[in-house]
Amino acid sequence: MEGTPQNIFDRLNAARTLMAEVDELPTVPAVVLRIAGKLDDPDVSIDEITDLLLQDQVLTTRVLRLVNSSFYCPLKHLDELREAIIYLGLDHLKEAVFTCAVVDLFKTGKEGFSRSLLWTHALGVAKVAKIIAERLGYPETFNVYLAGLLHDVGAVFLNFFRGKDFLSSLGCRWHLQDGITDAILYHHNLDAVPPERAAGVALVSLADWFCTRRKLGYEEIDDSGNIREGWEAHRAWEVLRARVAAPCEPGPHLDELNGIIAGLRAAILEGLYMV
Nearest of 275, 269, 224, 231 to residue 250 by alpha carbon: 231
In CATH terms, the fold of domain 5-274 is Hypothetical protein af1432 (1.10.3210)
Q: Are 210 and 231 in contact (CB under 8 A)?
A: yes
Q: Binning pLDDT at 50, 70 and 90, where does residue 145 land?
A: very high
Distance between CA atoms of residues 123 and 120, nearest Å: 5
Nearest of 101, 209, 92, 202 to residue 147 by alpha carbon: 202
Distance between CA atoms of residues 43 and 109, nearest Å: 41
User: Best-predicted range by mean pLDDT among 32-36, 56-60, 155-159?
Assistant: 56-60
pLDDT of residue 40: 85
First vs last Cα of the chain: how many Å apart?
Answer: 40
Domain ranges for the chain? 5-274
Q: 67-102, pLDDT tens digit by residue? A: 998 888 888 999 999 999 999 998 889 899 988 888
